[in-house]
Amino acid sequence: MSNQKDLLYSDLLGKISDFSFDESVASVFPDMIKRSVPGYGAIISMIGMMAGRYVKRDSNCYDLGCSLGATTLAMRKQINQQGCRIIAVDNSDAMVDRCKKIVEDDSSQVPVEVICRDIQDVEINNASIVVLNFTLQFIDPEKRQGIINKIYKGMLPGGILVISEKLSYQDKDIQNLFIDMHHEFKKAHGYSDLEISQKRTALEEVLIPEDIETHKKRILKAGFSSCDVWFQCFNFASLLALK
């Protein structure tokens, strides 16, 4: 995996364009996400553990918005059933090209298909595990229910959906505190105030966080029997839903 340091927002930019998962982001992505998302490493390895527990024989496991395949590799390591395959999907060519190479270099045996496609256009079927690890937040909120409904329909009974997201809060004090703590986290990991502020501007129209109630309501409306938060650090959380 690339070990390049994320310096994308370190110089003062005249014009800040909307954030996109292009080649420059793909080339620094492991460093960027580790220093930007509190708990990212723990979430990835725990998703691997959940995959080991919930995967069913002869089923599909989906990693939707796979980026460089960190979740895919964590699941691949733990999948212990015959006849399974992982389908990793991302609509960024830069991410998919790199992800394919990373998967090729990984020695685990579970078949992996890496597909460059919008997750809205991906068919989900025979799924025992579906993961949206910090992906749904980049989808138009109007389209989110349709995606969760489609995932539910394509899942096997007893399957799990994992959704990790940046959250928003109605309570202004909590909202401000968590945003502040997140910035402290980024500063503690070497980002300057300029980097934090320029990246925040770039993401403003692109990453649309929702509150936890909105997520839970949508998941239950799709038909899942239960859902709850299994991990949280400040305004970053991961939910588990059971079919």
Ligand X SMILES: C[S@@+](CC[C@H](N)C(=O)[O-])C[C@H]1O[C@@H](n2cnc3c(N)ncnc32)[C@H](O)[C@@H]1O
User: Could you list the residues that contact ligand X (CB under 6 A)?
Assistant: 21, 33, 65-67, 70-71, 89-92, 95, 118-120, 133-135, 138-139
Closer residue to ligand X, CB minimum distance, 105 or 173: 105
Closest CA to 119 of 154, 85, 75: 154
Closer residue to ligand X, CB minimum distance, 33 or 239: 33
Element (H, E) at 233: strand 226-233
- Closest distance of CB 173 from ligand X, Å: 27
239 beta partners: 163, 229
Q: Which residue is nearest to ligand X (CB)?
A: 65
What is the spatial distance between Cα 148 and Cα 83, in angstroms, rounded to a whole number? 25
Around 180, how many Cα atoms within 13 Å sit in the side-chain half-sphere? Answer: 6
Closer residue to ligand X, CB minimum distance, 30 or 159: 30
In contact, 44 and 69? CB cutoff 8 Å: no
- Closest distance of CB 19 from ligand X, Å: 10
- Closest distance of CB 14 from ligand X, Å: 25
What is the spatial distance between Cα 161 and Cα 232, in angstroms, rounded to a whole number? 16
- Closest distance of CB 164 from ligand X, Å: 8
Closer residue to ligand X, CB minimum distance, 3 or 170: 3
Closest CA to 133 of 187, 182, 63, 184: 63
Around 197, how many Cα atoms within 13 Å sit in the side-chain half-sphere? Answer: 7
5 φ/ψ angles, rounded to the nearest 5 degrees: -80, 140
Closer residue to ligand X, CB minimum distance, 26 or 55: 26
- Closest distance of CB 118 from ligand X, Å: 4
What is the spatial distance between Cα 157 and Cα 152, in angstroms, rounded to a whole number? 9
What is the spatial distance between Cα 129 and Cα 6, in angstroms, rounded to a whole number? 31
Closer residue to ligand X, CB minimum distance, 19 or 178: 19
Closer residue to ligand X, CB minimum distance, 45 or 58: 45
- Closest distance of CB 158 from ligand X, Å: 23
User: Using alpha carbons only, how large is the chain's radius of gyration in Å?
Assistant: 17
- Closest distance of CB 74 from ligand X, Å: 9
